[in-house]
């Protein structure tokens, strides 16, 4: 589905389209070795991302008690400080790979701290999150894809379980404590659900936020007048972030599975079909956005579907928005111009993720 209205309708049709990715078709992808990866499949089926109602309602309402807009807003001073410390080394006027030097580090530190994972495990979390992310974001059924995913799962479980147990005994002011002690009408998370959903948050927010930041820098490089607009009015960081999400959102498409036959977008869907909801196309649909190829940081309203729509709308949206707003505000205040020196920036050729391979940039200080 590529039209805006059809993509939104697809996201919102929770009854006929399922998110339970890892039982049916994904298991088919694994091929003959499904049983070999049973533990991995069960781990991923506990993610709220891959559950349908009513399980999804339970998981999401439990996490919503801890992952609140208020608790995210409280992270602002720390995010500002991190942005500063990562931005400072860009001042030298030398060429840097913005992905590795800035965009890669900010989200992993933020989510690790928010969850309450120990600082000494940061590098490990980063590596494991990448490997787990590759399982979801990269296609191609190489033997390595699943074996690496399984190793990453085991590593993350090993790392997160002790934190979950420690917070069960002695809660702190972090998200894992909030999840462990969350209670909605007598319902609570199991230990396995906390571990699995904490791992989901680590990998779901890492590559995506990194790509939001890098795709934004590339968009500004291609439209220097928009960079100047942001410099003149830093309050535009909010609408600029939305416009980057629309124009070059980090996720291009997500899949759903058909539970019963119906028609969508003029197509007859059969039970068991896989439907791709192509957010990137929806966000460029001229029926929904005037002059859609234009990067216009003042565009408002901007009802893009970069975070999906309906019950699975991105949990981390307020967090990644905050990170991007702080990053763009800081960079526009500190740097007169940005000069992308990669002659031909290339996107990684995958269906889901919209991320650059690298982004060599020279930042010109004011």
Residue 19 touching ligand HEM (CB under 6 A): yes
Stretch that binds ligand HEM, among 130-138, 155-163, 266-274, 315-323 (CB under 6 A): 315-323
> 315 φ, ψ to 5°?
-65, -35
Q: Who's near 255: CB < 8 A, 6+ residues apart?
A: 21, 25, 274, 275, 276, 277
CA 17 to chain centre: 21
Segment interacting with ligand HEM, rule: CB under 6 A, options 127-135, 257-265, 312-320, 335-343: 312-320
* Contact status: 254 vs ligand HEM (CB under 6 A): yes
Q: Based on the shown chain and the rule CB under 6 A, indicate whether residue 115 belongs to the binding site for ligand HEM.
A: no
Check residue 315 for interaction with ligand HEM (CB under 6 A): yes
* Residue 212 is a binding residue for ligand HEM (CB under 6 A): yes
99 binds ligand HEM per the rule CB under 6 A: no
CA atoms within 13 A on the CB side of 63: 21
C-beta nearest to ligand HEM: residue: 316
From 152-160, 197-205, 216-224, 262-270, give the range in contact with ligand HEM by CB under 6 A.
Answer: 197-205
Residues that contact ligand HEM, how many (by CB under 6 A) = 26
Q: How far is the CB of 195 from ligand HEM (least distance, A)?
A: 14
For position 87 contacting ligand HEM by CB under 6 A, the verdict is no
204 binds ligand HEM (CB under 6 A): yes
Which tokens hold the place of 197?
A: 């959903």
Nearer Cβ to ligand HEM (36/139) = 139
Query: In this complex, which beta carbon is closest to ligand HEM, that of residue 316 or of residue 345?
Result: 316
Work out which of 177, 215, 320, 325 binds ligand HEM, going by CB under 6 A.
320
208 lies in the binding site for ligand HEM (CB under 6 A): yes
Rule CB under 6 A: choose which of 46, 58, 60, 304 binds ligand HEM.
Answer: 60
Specify the stretch interacting with ligand HEM by CB under 6 A; choose among 29-37, 72-80, 178-186, 302-310: 302-310
Q: Does 322 help bind ligand HEM (rule: CB under 6 A)?
A: no
Does 304 bind ligand HEM (CB under 6 A)? Our answer is no
Closest CA to 29 of 126, 146, 120: 146
Q: Is 109 in the site for ligand HEM (CB under 6 A)?
A: no
Cα-based torsion angle of the residue sequence 268, 310, 64, 163 in order, rounded to the nearest 10 degrees? 40
Sheet strands side by side (includes 360-365)? 95-97, 360-365, 335-340
Check binding of 250 to ligand HEM (CB under 6 A).
yes
Min dist. Cβ of residue 302 to ligand HEM (A):
14
Q: Does 249 bind ligand HEM (CB under 6 A)?
A: yes
**Residues near ligand HEM, by CB under 6 A:** 11, 19, 48-49, 60, 111, 200-201, 204-205, 208-209, 212, 249-251, 254, 306-308, 312, 314-316, 319-320
């Amino acid at each position: 589905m590529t039209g805006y209205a059809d993509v939104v309708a697809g996201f919102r049709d929770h009854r006929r389209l399922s998110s339970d990715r890892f039982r049916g078709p994904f298991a088919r992808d694994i091929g003959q070795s499904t049983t070999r990866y049973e533990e991995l499949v069960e781990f991923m089926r506990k993610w709220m991302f891959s559950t349908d109602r009513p399980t999804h309602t339970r998981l999401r309402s439990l996490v919503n008690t801890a992952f609140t807009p208020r608790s995210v807003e409280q992270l602002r001073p720390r995010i500002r400080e991190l942005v500063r410390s990562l931005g400072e080394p860009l001042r030298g006027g030398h060429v840097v790979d913005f992905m590795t030097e800035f965009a890669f580090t900010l989200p992993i530190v933020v989510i690790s701290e928010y969850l309450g994972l120990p600082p000494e495990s940061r590098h490990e979390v980063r590596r494991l999150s990448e490997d787990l992310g590759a399982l979801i974001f990269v296609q191609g059924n190489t033997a390595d894809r699943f074996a690496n995913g399984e190793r990453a799962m085991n590593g993350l479980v090993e790392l997160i379980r002790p934190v979950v147990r420690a917070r069960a005994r002695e809660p702190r002011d972090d998200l894992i404590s909030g999840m462990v002690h969350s209670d909605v009408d007598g319902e609570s998370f199991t230990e396995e659900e906390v571990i699995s959903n904490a791992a989901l948050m680590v990998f779901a927010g890492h590559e995506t936020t990194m790509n939001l930041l890098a795709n934004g820098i590339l968009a500004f490089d291609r439209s220097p007048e928009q960079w100047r607009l942001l410099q003149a009015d830093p309050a535009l960081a909010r609408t600029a972030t939305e416009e980057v999400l629309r124009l070059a959102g980090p996720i291009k498409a997500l899949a759903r599975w058909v539970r019963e036959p119906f028609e969508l977008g003029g197509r007859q869907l059969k039970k068991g079909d896989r439907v791709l909801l192509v957010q990137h196309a929806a966000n460029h649909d001229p029926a929904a956005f005037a002059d859609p190829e234009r990067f216009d940081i003042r565009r408002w309203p901007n009802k893009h579907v970069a975070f999906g729509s309906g019950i699975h709308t991105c949990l981390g949206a307020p967090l990644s928005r905050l990170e991007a707003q702080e990053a763009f505000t800081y960079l526009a205040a500190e740097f007169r111009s940005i000069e992308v020196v990669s002659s031909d920036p290339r996107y990684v050729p995958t269906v889901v993720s919209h991320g650059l391979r690298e982004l060599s940039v020279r930042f010109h200080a004011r």
